[in-house]
Structure 1
């Protein structure tokens, strides 16, 4: 089913904007108002895309833009069949396109498209960071890369018509906001981290010094609304309760601003958070969460994003539900747009 509110333009990270003139059989894309690529579309059980004209060299970015537009236009489209006269070397090397058995025919798979890190990912060293095993507190795990600073992820959510982004928490900038959120009765009932500004400064200072945890602020249209902790599960207290892989990531989540609650907002930020963690290191095969077992609302949100409940287990401070989302499942069912 096509998007009920199809986009007329799609903003890109970095400030540029894609525009389109689209009919049933043709698609012309413009970048910042300048012609980029013209396509003939043959619709059926599969969407066949024939290149008619291209106004950009190298061709890779133009092909990427067309794939992005068509996948955003129809979130249920699983693949595109491209017909090209010239071999798209750059697109084949990156994984944007794959060859078929027919000459001049190539495919773009949604599951592969959304695993390409750019332009969504900010600065990241994780994916190229060499593996060296170390031992911390009796746990053997890979040495972790230096934590990033600043914005790490940005994507325009066409369903919301808003930017969803993630940036690292900066204590001087975010302390009062964090303190207000943690002292909200709704948040405190689950996090149990109420306290003073100084207590929360100490809490955040400790996490900033911990190579296991990355503290993040979630934003809609650059307005902070949520706090997330992304941790390496192998070194975390969760590790004894399941077979944690070296690159599994875990998440703690809270929405602090009341106006950004609701299932449609959760679907946007939770998919963005998981997407970021899978892009940050291609060796990450699972994202896990451990909400309180009686937090039915959050568990429901996680189920809606294809997490499954592996089991319930007991931490010293709570009974938790072990929620797991595998990389393959996330990208196979990827509803990003």
Structure 2
């Protein structure tokens, strides 16, 4: 497992790896063993970063790699002040850096860094889908994009020393494990979806054809361990119970593999799931969940990821707690590494 405060290597989506030669005052980053960027560090109440040499053109990717390394090294670091001789146009256009008051100084904020969709979304990111309002079953909402296929999110979790990723559920590939998970007594006590393979095939096929819901498989180091449903709240049965906005997303969650239970694992996959949903469409301002009101453990995990309980309410099938996490709160308190 990677050391939390002093990582020696950070894998990147796509297979490449960042390494470093780091002291208190200097940082040299390597990409696949080749020199990438050399920095002088000035530590204090804020971390000042002086560019000494860059081996990559354009310079933007090297600046991004250095920001990633420094934020992953210290989850308490909220701000990097860069000192650059040349204006970093690419980094300014993307939002990686913003101009500071003094000439030649630029700032990278943790809260903005983790809102950049790449490289976490890979090829699945297509930007904001055009907005066109339509009516479905009497509910007015934006037309939803075609659902993606394959892997939609990948990030190396430096705390666990493991990859956390999300891919879309494929019925032929995942039906047996979904059936096994739903029929486990622990999962069944909350989901109440026990059934046969054919019943679960019908359940998943219905969701696959529903533009409102995206079914996902969560993986650690590419090994499936969990099932998630991400839905557009405006068209969902939850909408009458709160003031749902056009791009709110909701989540249903289950962990199927016993060895991947525990607070440290939940912190990893839950933050990854929420991160994906906020990146998937930058217009999404809230992620909501509605666990059973007596599911104290799940509600506790949601509280730990900065969700708050807005109220309890009654679905036809359960007493639920309405848990809400706003985009600003998530990124302002972002503990991703």
TM-score, normalising length: structure 2: 0.99
Q: 1:250 to 1:126 in 2, by over 3 A?
A: farther
Quote the offset at 1:126 in angstroms: 6.3
Distance in 1, matches of 2:239 and 2:125, equals 24
Partner of 2:273: 273
Q: 1:331 to 1:231 in 2, by over 3 A?
A: same
Structure 2's unaligned 5+ residue stretches are none
3-state SS of paired residue (1:93): helix
Quote the offset at 1:125 in angstroms: 5.8
Quote the offset at 1:122 in angstroms: 3.3
Distance in 1, matches of 2:271 and 2:202, equals 30
TM-score, normalising length: structure 1: 0.99
Structure 1's unaligned 5+ residue stretches are none
- Equivalent residues of 2:3, 2:158 under 8 A apart: no
3-state SS of paired residue (1:53): strand
Over 3 Å off, 4+ runs? 1-5, 122-127
Quote the offset at 1:67 in angstroms: 0.1
Question: For 1:284-324, what per-residue CA distance to the aligned partner results, in whole angstroms no more than 9, with x for missing partners?
Answer: 00000000000000000000000000000000000000000
Distance in 2, matches of 1:332 and 1:125, equals 23
Distance in 1, matches of 2:217 and 2:199, equals 19
- Equivalent residues of 1:123, 1:148 under 8 A apart: no
- Equivalent residues of 1:2, 1:74 under 8 A apart: no
- Equivalent residues of 1:13, 1:154 under 8 A apart: yes
Distance in 2, matches of 1:263 and 1:213, equals 27
- C-alpha RMSD of the superposition: 1.5
- Equivalent residues of 1:292, 1:318 under 8 A apart: yes
Distance in 2, matches of 1:161 and 1:82, equals 28
Question: For 1:21-43, what per-residue CA distance to the aligned partner results, in whole angstroms no more than 9, with x for missing partners?
Answer: 00000000000000000000000
- Equivalent residues of 1:127, 1:283 under 8 A apart: no
3-state SS of paired residue (1:127): coil
Quote the offset at 1:6 in angstroms: 2.0
3-state SS of paired residue (1:126): coil
Q: Which range moved further: 63-72 or 2-11?
A: 2-11
Distance in 1, matches of 2:252 and 2:123, equals 22
3-state SS of paired residue (1:128): coil
Question: For 1:155-181, what per-residue CA distance to the aligned partner results, in whole angstroms no more than 9, with x for missing partners?
Answer: 000000000000000000000000000
Q: Figure out how many residues of one structure are paired with residues of the other and give that number.
A: 337
Q: 1:96 to 1:253 in 2, by over 3 A?
A: same
Q: 1:107 to 1:3 in 2, by over 3 A?
A: farther
- Equivalent residues of 2:4, 2:73 under 8 A apart: no
Q: Which range moved further: 64-73 or 123-132?
A: 123-132
